[in-house]
Amino acid sequence: MAGNLKFGKRVRELREAKKAFDPSFSLRQFAVKVGISATFMSKIETGEFDPPKAKHIIKMAELLDVDADELLALANKTDPELDEIIKSEPKAMADLLRMARDRGLTADDLERITKRMKRKS
């Protein structure tokens, strides 16, 4: 297995920070909450094994109080919900994403657009 040291380091860093205030964030207890074995969790954190499935990464993010997309990106994965959104309107969604890329929209630009859209809802 190839592993992903950046992902593992980040998860361990976040988990250890939580563990400093809450002992239930030990490796073993965290793994149980995520739904994976402690051995697998250990190998993930050391970068020996690849990150788990997206659903487990999303659970990790929820428990660690971080944005799931941050951890998914580190794991080179995307939220399965995005696949469904794209599949529901494949041409329109692909056009939208390509247009944003071609126009050079930054993360700040996209955040502003998103905030405007939320206000209009």
Q: What is the pLDDT of residues 53-88, one digit of tens each?
A: 999 999 999 999 999 999 999 999 999 999 999 999
- The residues of the chain scoring below 50 in pLDDT are none
* Single pTM value for the model: 0.85
CATH topology for 5-78 is: 434 Repressor (Amino-terminal Domain) (1.10.260)
Greatest Cα-to-Cα distance within the chain, rounded to the nearest angstrom: 48
- Domain boundary assignment for the chain: 5-78, 89-120
Angle, in degrees to the nearest 10, between helices 80-88 and 90-102: 110
52: left (phi over 0), alpha (psi -120 to 50) or beta: beta
31, 35, 40, 45: CA torsion to nearest 10 = -50
Question: Closest by alpha carbon to 34, among 76, 74, 71, 86?
Answer: 71
